[in-house]
Chain A
Amino acid sequence: MSLISTILFLPLVGVLILFFVPNWKTQLIRRIALNTSLLTFLMSLLLWIEFDSSTARFQFLETVAGSHFGETAGFSFSSLNFLFGVDGISLFFIILTTFLIPICILVSWTNIQAYVKEYCIAFLILESLMIAVFSVLDLLLFYVFFESVLIPMFVIIGVWGSRERKIRAAYQFFLYTLLGSVFMLLAILLIYFQTGTTDLEILYCSNFSETRQIFLWLAFFASFAVKVPMVPVHIWLPEAHVEAPTAGSVILAGILLKLGTYGFLRFSIPLFPFATFYFTPLIYTLSVIAIIYTSLTTLRQIDLKKIIAYSSVAHMNFVTLGLFSLNTQGIEGSLLLMLSHGLVSPALFLCIGILYDRHKTRLLRYYAGCGRTMPLFALLFVFFTMANISLPGTSSFIGEFLVLTGTYQNNSFVAMLAATGMVLGAAYALWLCNRLIYGVIKPHFINEWSDVTRREFWMLAPFVISIIWMGVYPEPFLDALHCSVSNLISHGM
């Protein structure tokens, strides 16, 4: 058992144990789940420590199932490579996943009372699947894991979501994602049909004709654009976010949005360099539209979660902008921005979750003056909001700055348009802060006065620490990224 398969299977071991724990021992179930996920997190930190940042190769290579068994003609799942490995690009996504899952279990320590066991099982399975998505080195298996995330997510939104509209949200989430990604399946089959393999490292060395590249790129785009989300297909996201339970939003914002951009970086850019060049204007246009449009949309939302959700869309489109700038700054910046967004946005969702637990509403008009009643909460919330608008010193600043630099080198006009997003971002975030934290308390609506509990504080503290760490000293992250990214660029171009 090498490190990577330990990390992959540890959550499943937890699931196995949970199956044998009786349903009514909820506290025991939560403890088991929390400990398993914490252990997984520690193991993934070990992955980072042992990571060799001086090479662009995939490391910790591990064949999990019996591969190369059926050496037969034709298409065969048994000749698939169950090959897992990590490089600089996927390393931090794995760590981000394992970092967020314990928090998801912790956040529901008291407020999830129904189906606790199923809840924990769903999250642990989700964790295992997401680690697999980020570490698998086979195109078809990537698709398999990418899609199978849908099932636990559908259940999480549908079962533990907050309102009646949740079913509609779960549906939308499911069908949007599925419709997008089946075209990717066809593209993968076409790739297999041409090259005879779905092994990623071999595919990196193969060439596709220009017309075919364009088709394949579009098919992949259909899938990733839904996940990112790009502008015409972003509607599922606010719905799913608003209706999901807090932990569901954390995972959605923290990891699932990264799947699309990770897919762009891992597959679209290196596999189809010609089509990537060809479609760069499309991506730029869509991203800029998304940044401006969703930032403006955010201004008129009254649902707290929708505000954060729309700001996620804006940030993720910054990421795509950076990815398709196709230079080192841009791509590294967008990777950092993904990581940073994976910290900031979940933290904000956790804050909203804390408010919702107390007052059972997410409508902004009922809230005011939280700074008086919940000073510690106000402090944390303002901090995360500042991180969200990428104040220098927080992690988002590094990311957005690098993205804008990278884009500027490529296309200054686009960079200028995208930079307006920063202004608009500040507008909606400060507006939200102002309405929520300051002002006169509305005691008719808000009559339960309690600040963050100890559990909630410790849940949020790691976010604060890592946001500041990334903002002040991003070297360790950039070091690990650098080799892989520059290899990717030199390879593709």
Chain B
Amino acid sequence: MLANFRDESLMTLSPNYKTFLFDTDFQSLFPEIFLITASIFLLVYGVVFSTSKEKNYPLLLTNVSWLSLLACVFTFLLLVNSPVQNALLCYNTLVIDDFTTFLKGLILVSTFFCVFMSLDYIKQESLNAFECILLILFSTSSMLFLVSSADFISMYLAIELQSLCFYVLAALKRNSEFSTEAGLKYFMLGAFSSGLLLFGCSLIYGFTGVTNFSELARIFTGGTQEFLTTTTSFPACELGMVFLLVGFLFKITAVPFHMWSPDVYEGAPTPITAFFLIVPKAALFGVFLRIFLESFYDFVLPWQKILIVSSICSMILGSIAALSQTRIKRLLAYSSIGHVGYLLAGFACGTIEGIQALLIYLFVYVFMNINMFAFILCGMRRENMQTVPRIKYITDLAFLAKTQPILALTFTITMFSMAGIPPLAGFYSKAYLFFAAMSSNLYVLAVIGVVCSVCSCFYYIRLVKIMYFEAPKNWCSFSRIPVENAVTLAITVFFIVFFMFYPTPLHLITHKIALTLCL
């Protein structure tokens, strides 16, 4: 029965599919295979050379980082030129379509920038552990699998691989108490949320006997009424779904389950924070959109309610809690909670517009945050020498407009964009979201979202204010802007400012993707 189903669905999905594993499955997994192979090569290379006595125990972090950047680029190229566009692979556990290609591209690009803009940080902080780059690569490849997983088992495995890499990354600085604490907290809560996730999966498996998304969809299709009358397992499945949802909200730091995120984001080294903040959101949203829109679409009422509540809470907390933060990474953590609220608002719509708005928001969010971190990761010089050469408190930004006017201008533009002021990219993404919310009659969500975005304006503008108008207690200036960060900043600011002139490509792509997901 299973084999029949597979053949049938493959016929419809991919015209050039042949049923041989080695013919097509591996062909369509080229990007993942390449990335994993490259990471293993880099691992061997790093281990061999960093312990080689002839070479005088070289420090390989920068070298490995550059090579891993190259690996990201090649993976991206392989992904874009993949011979198979639509397929179900590996005995229905993985799926490839436009949606996964888009998100994988986004993940690879953001990983690339995360590593690229931390190159200077790595050098300055003498963070001599090349394994961290490898962990980033491994977690990236796990996220690639996560996006394309079509089965609870592959999904859970991918999430776990990703999370394990993250736990280690968070505790990377062994000599820093903050970092260790962050790693510990992340591990405890991450493991807990994975447990919830797993319990949800097992409940659903136990009451339906199926772990595959599309088969679940077949079981649940025809409306919950029919399912309710024919079986008695409906409440159990609903419970399983709620557990899944809670695990998911834990992972993306949505509000009732957000408590770990400010601590972890603050404690982890800044490049790792950037990575945590930017990259996994895309992957997690990808797979959960697939689950909830494909398999649980007929449970839409319960999950929509939960998502709406969570979205509203996230937006409110994100805009209010960030008001009282003094440390920049904490502030960004809360602001990202707010952004997750907006993303969830798109999710809660569950319509094509909602998905499209979510994807656009995700795209813009990634670029804005890359810009932010490219800025924060620049090295600083302090007047009366202190130990920390980085921006830590938001007051460290004081009078940046005097010392680095162009950098200050860049940062200002990003802040206005984050706050959603019109001609910038952030406004467009928010407007799409509000439109989606209104077109699915979620007026309350739209109104609260709008009010929260005004509240959050307050602290984004406060950063601008500090930078332009406040006299500093102790002067600090950026020692120099590293080339990599400058390039990243330039690209992202260009995107943010000029997005309004030609939003068509992104709009069309996301629309197509939303269609593939919903139809």
Contacts and interface: CB of A to CB of B under 8 A. Distances in A.
Contact of B450 (A140, A145, A186): A186
A177 to B, nearest CB: 10
Interface of B: 352-353, 356, 405, 412, 416, 421-423, 427-428, 431-432, 434-436, 438-439, 446-447, 450-451, 453-454, 457-458, 461, 465, 468-469, 500-504, 507-508, 511
A379 B273 CA distance: 65
24 contacts: A65-B502, A66-B504, A72-B511, A73-B352, A74-B511, A75-B436, A77-B500, A140-B431, A144-B500, A158-B469, A159-B468, A167-B465, A167-B469, A175-B458, A178-B421, A182-B450, A182-B451, A182-B453, A186-B434, A186-B438, A189-B434, A189-B435, A193-B435, A193-B439
Nearest to A140: B431
A442 to B, nearest CB: 33
Nearest to A170: B465
B357 to A, nearest CB: 8
A175 B446 CA distance: 19
Interface hub of A76, A171, A175, A183 (most chain B Cβ within 10 A): A76
A267 interface: no
Nearest to A180: B454
B518 to A, nearest CB: 11
Contacts of A118: 405
Interface of B is mostly: helix
A70 B508 contact: yes
A13 interface: no
Interface of A: 65-66, 69-70, 72-78, 118, 140, 143-148, 150-151, 154-155, 158-159, 166-167, 170-171, 174-175, 178-179, 182-183, 185-186, 189-190, 192-193
Given A69-B504, A77-B507, A178-B457, A189 B423 contact: no
A143 to B, nearest CB: 7
Contacts of B436: 75
Nearest to A77: B503
B503 A75 contact: no
B507 A151 contact: no
Contacts of B435: 75, 189, 192-193
A158 B416 CA distance: 15
A145 B451 CA distance: 20
B450 A183 contact: yes
Contacts of B356: 74
Given A159-B468, A174-B457, A182-B451, 9 more contacts: A66-B502, A70-B507, A77-B432, A143-B422, A145-B422, A145-B423, A158-B468, A186-B434, A186-B438
Interface hub of A66, A74, A182 (most chain B Cβ within 10 A): A74
Contacts of A175: 454, 457-458
A66 B436 CA distance: 24
B318 to A, nearest CB: 16
Contact of B423 (A76, A144, A182): A144
B454 A151 contact: no
Contact of A190 (B421, B438, B503): B438
A171 B507 contact: no
A72 B450 contact: no
B450 A185 contact: yes
A146 B434 CA distance: 18
Contacts of B447: 186
A341 B468 CA distance: 33
Given A78-B503, A148-B421, A186-B447, A72 B508 contact: yes
Nearest to B401: A159
Nearest to A80: B503
Contacts of B504: 66, 69-70, 78
Nearest to B434: A189
A143 B423 CA distance: 10
B416 A151 contact: yes
A150 B424 CA distance: 12
Contacts of B431: 77, 140, 185, 189
Nearest to B431: A185
Contacts of B500: 77, 144
